[in-house]
Amino acid sequence: MLDDLIQSMKQAIQELKQYAGKSIQLFHHNDSDGLSSGAILQKAFTRQGFAVHRFCLEKPYPVVLKKVFQQEGGIIVFADFAGRIAPLISTLNQGRNLALILDHHVAEPATDPMVHNLDPELYGMKGDRDITASTTCYLFAITLNRVNQDMAHIATIGAVGDGFFVDGRLADQNRKVALEAVRQGQVEIQLINGAEQYLLKTAKGHMPLAEFGAYLDTLGAAGYYQNGPDMGVRVCLEGISQESDRVLEKLKNIQSKAFKEEISRIQKGALKKTAHIQWFHVENRLAPMGVKMIGAFCDTIKNTKYIDPTRYIAGFQIIPNEIPKFGPIQFGEVKISMRVSDYLAEKIRTEDIMGLDVLLPEATGRLGGFSDACHRLTAATTVAMGKEEALIEEMEKILRTGFKVIPRP
Ligand SMILES: [Mn+2]
């Protein structure tokens, strides 16, 4: 449990301190949990005397990992992803670098002793309820040096941002870190209708952390290719500024304009329909926003009159051949995001139809694509460009065997 995790963190820290290099490459996710994780680790490692090179990824794409692990003697840290692909990272690393994984998603143990998978899921903890990446990074940071306790409120941002509430409040380690932030006078908890509201105390008054989380999510996702993640990390460490407010406004405008244009395309017949699926392709029209936007757009339309509530929704977006600050990288891939209407969501919950967590990864696997985060009601994978129709057809094949015909609502 927690003690074992802390023990493993101590072991990893000891190796880190003895390692020859004093330069760290830090890779972190671009949502509020990932940005707050990146902020905590950047400050903790810098305080410890390391030079930190921080990169924000929308996903730990294998093609990116292959490039990262061409080096030798490096210190490579992953936050808020990679827990599940520790075996792949081990294979790529072959003992040549020291790698630390600070994630909270479903995890697999590493097979290379130089890869430390410090994902709480491997220690009997619930990474989808009790502990976020931000809290995992916070635990690591205070194990590294008690001085990092002053970042409890940053960990709380990620905890609230990921939305893990049990009976209206954060649970277990996430709540413990929130209470630590309260003790330090950084956060206040208010009870509203039996639910805990977590408020950050700022120079301009109290700000709900849920709002702070949404702020970071927009910077990281809509602003992904425009230094939004850097701004997000800075906002975590230094607070919101007039400049960050300005950037946020600009990004919101870019997003709403792009979404309006896509809706009007759909109204004009851009939606293609097969037996059980309706799908569309935004190509690179959501640029310069990140590829998380295709999922956000599907969320925006999933219960509107523009779509058919009885068919699965699928949207494709081209993945740009670039990782900010990391350089050009040849993906040649598209991302597919899938969602369902509330009507179909109920059918999935009652197991009348197949959940996206089965349907999409199965079809993606058959086409040699990459599956990462797939849940029952939301899912996303990537496939080679040009395989879009084949992927839809593959899903139809899967559905033909196990799909019940649903009457219209
Ligand atoms: Mn997370």
At residue 370, the pLDDT reads: 87
DSSP-assigned letters across all residues of 24-62 = EEEEE-SSHHHHHHHHHHHHHHHHTT-EEEEEE-SS--H
CA of 314 to the centre of ligand 1 (A): 24
- Kindly give the distance from the C-alpha atom of residue 126 to the centroid of ligand 1, in angstroms, as a whole number: 12
C-alpha distances (whole Å) from 386 to each of 141, 279, 318 are 44, 15, 10
Q: How far is the CA of 116 from the centre of ligand 1 (A)?
A: 18
pLDDT score at 402: 62
Residue among 179, 149, 142, 110 nearest 6 (CA): 142
Task: Report the separation in Å between the CA atom of 160 and the middle of ligand 1, taken as the mean of its atom positions.
Answer: 10
Please say if the pLDDT value at position 405 is more than 50.
no
Q: Ligand 1 centroid vs 397 CA: distance in angstroms?
A: 33
Ligand 1 centre to CA of 374 (Å) is: 14
Q: What is the whole-number distance in angstroms between the Cα of residue 33 and the centre of ligand 1?
A: 5
Tens digits of residue pLDDT in 67-115 = 999 999 999 999 999 999 999 999 999 999 999 999 999 899 999 999 9
pLDDT tens for residues 161-196? 999 999 999 999 999 999 999 999 999 999 999 999
The yes or no reply on domain 2-208 and CATH 3.90.1640.30 is: yes
How many whole angstroms from 271 Cα to the centroid of ligand 1?
Answer: 32
Instruction: Say what percent of the chain tops pLDDT 70.
Output: 98
pLDDT score recorded for residue 332: 94
**DSSP bridge partners of 178:** none
Domain ranges of the chain: 2-208, 271-402
How many whole angstroms from 235 Cα to the centroid of ligand 1?
18
**Digit-coded pLDDT (tens) for 338-392:** 999 999 999 999 999 999 999 999 999 999 998 876 889 999 999 999 999 999 9
- Rounded to the nearest whole angstrom, what is the distance from the C-alpha of residue 360 to the centroid of ligand 1? 21
The pLDDT-based confidence of 203 (bands split at 50, 70, 90) is confident
CA 393 / ligand 1 centre spacing (Å) = 32
pLDDT of residue 401: 81
Nearby residues for ligand 1 (ion, Cβ within 5 Å): 33, 80, 133, 162
Tell me the pLDDT of the chain averaged across its residues: 95
The CA-to-CA distance between both ends of the chain, in Å, stands at: 47
Q: Does 324 have pLDDT greater than 60?
A: yes
| DSSP summary character for residue 320 | P
- Cβ within 8 Å of residue 152, ≥6 positions away: 138, 177, 178, 180, 181, 184, 186, 187
Q: Find the 162 Cα to ligand 1 centroid distance in Å.
A: 6
What are the tens digits of pLDDT across the range 115-169? 999 999 999 999 999 999 999 999 999 999 999 999 999 999 999 999 999 999 9
- Top pLDDT among 253 and 62 is at 253
Distance CA 193, CA 102 (A): 34
CATH number 3.10.310.40 given to 271-402: yes
Q: How close is the Cα of 134 to the center of ligand 1, in Å?
A: 7
Question: Is-contact 356 337, C-beta < 8 A?
Answer: no
Q: Classify each residue of 28-37 as buried b or exposed e, where b means 16 or more C-beta atoms within 10 Å of its C-beta.
A: bbbbbbbbbb
Cβ atoms of 232 and 238 within 8 Å: the answer is no
Distance 30 CA to ligand 1 centre (A): 9
Q: How far is the CA of 32 from the centre of ligand 1 (A)?
A: 8
Nearest to 146 by CA among 200, 184, 104: 184
Q: How far is the CA of 266 from the centre of ligand 1 (A)?
A: 32
pLDDT at 375: 86
